[in-house]
Amino acid sequence: MTEPLLKVRDLKKHFPVMKGILRRQVGTVKAVDGVSFDLMPQETISLVGESGCGKTTCGRSILRLIEPNSGEIRFREQNLPDLEEKALREIRRHMQIIFQDPFSSLNPRQTVGEIIGAPMVLHGVCSRNEVDERVRNLLSKVGLQPTYASRYPHEFSGGQRQRVGIARAVALNPDFIVCDEAVSALDVSVQAQIINLLLDLKDEFGLSYLFIAHDLSVVRHISDKVAVMYLGRIVEFADRDSIFERPCHPYTQALLSAVPHANPRHKKQRIILPGDVPSPINPPTGCHFHTRCPLSEDRCLNESPQSHEITPGHRVSCHLY
């Protein structure tokens, strides 16, 4: 049986909340609070949930762009939190990220050729003599003119800049890319082009994606599996069709009820959740979702639900299952 490319177990990232002149710690934000999943080779898992649910922190903790507090992150047989700086730098070559805002993530003083080419020379992917040719090839693979290598980021549109960001991410032949809201800032028509480009590159380079997004229509198009997060925890995890056809957790059901359907005859009841997401500094007791859940019972107030596998590969954290 194929081994997972990435194994995440009980990942936690907590931020201290400091106050006063003496900067005393007065609380803790549990941004990621015990996340576990496996990502198989050439698979796309989407992390979804409302703003502030911890999905971006989760993606960045996995890459150790921010240091997690605890948990295992096994990638290529190595536990990333155990690695020293040098070993981490070496393995990072195989793990890349595409950011939401392509403009602020590209150095405005470097040409596109330098932005894409410098990491290739640094990591020994190619020699200085070969780098121009490789940059030109990559630019045409992501749908840009090879001659654009001499231009600067400000000379491109948002969609073109995101293509440059994608070319930079695949330049080192990675196995795994975190797409952190990679299409959220783009127009709908450009979003579709970038999603199709990501799908083509996945096939061509055998990539695995952790796709962080809040637009569920996009998630349905790109994902193999979906993890639904609420206040730092995964509350439901399943393959894409199970999540979209048979959502079980009341939170997933509410999120999906807001997604427009292509067929106007398709009528479904919109589930409006009361209130906002509670503060992660002081999350509700028991099931974190009980303050907004339309199906909440007495025990939900005190007992935190465990994750149960209700069908093979479909896990839900809710007392109803």
| Count of residues interacting with ligand SF4 (CB under 6 A) | 14
**Given candidates 293, 310, 313, 315, which one binds ligand SF4 under the rule CB under 6 A?**
293
Chain Cα centroid distance, residue 56 = 6
The CA distance from 15 to 7, in Å, is: 23
Q: Is 295 in the site for ligand SF4 (CB under 6 A)?
A: yes
Q: Of 14-22, 110-118, 260-268, 292-300, which part binds ligand SF4 (CB under 6 A)? A: 292-300
Residue with smaller CB distance to ligand SF4, 69 or 296: 296
The correct pick among 97, 289, 314, 315 for binding ligand SF4 (CB under 6 A) is 289
CB 65 within 8 A of CB 98: no
264/274 with CB nearer ligand SF4: 274
d(CA 288, CA 281): 12
Find the Cα–Cα–Cα–Cα dihedral 162, 168, 172, 175, rounded to 10°. Answer: -20
* Nearest CB to ligand SF4, comparing residues 144 and 287: 287
Tokens representing 95 are: 């793990």
Spatial separation of the C-alpha atoms in residues 14 and 68, rounded to whole Å = 8
Query: Least Å distance between CB 297 and ligand SF4?
Result: 6
Kindly tell me which residue out of 180, 287, 314, 315 binds ligand SF4, with binding defined by CB under 6 A: 287
Site for ligand SF4, residues 238 to 257, rule: CB under 6 A: 249-250
What are the b/e assignments for 133-148, b being 16+ CB within 10 Å? ebbbebbebbbbeeeb
Which stretch, 48-56, 58-66, 179-187, 283-291, contacts ligand SF4 (CB under 6 A)? 283-291
Q: Which residues contact 171 (CB under 8 A, 6 or more apart)?
A: 116, 117, 119, 120, 125, 134, 135, 138
Give me the phi and psi of 185, to 5 degrees please: -90, 5
283 binds ligand SF4, rule: CB under 6 A:
no
- 290 is a contact residue toward ligand SF4 (CB under 6 A): yes
CA distance 178 to 176: 7
The interface mask with ligand SF4, positions 68-97, x = CB under 6 A, is: ------------------------------
State the minimum distance, in angstroms, from the CB of residue 227 to ligand SF4: 16
> Given the rule CB under 6 A, which residues bind ligand SF4?
249-250, 287, 289-290, 293, 295-297, 300, 305, 318-320
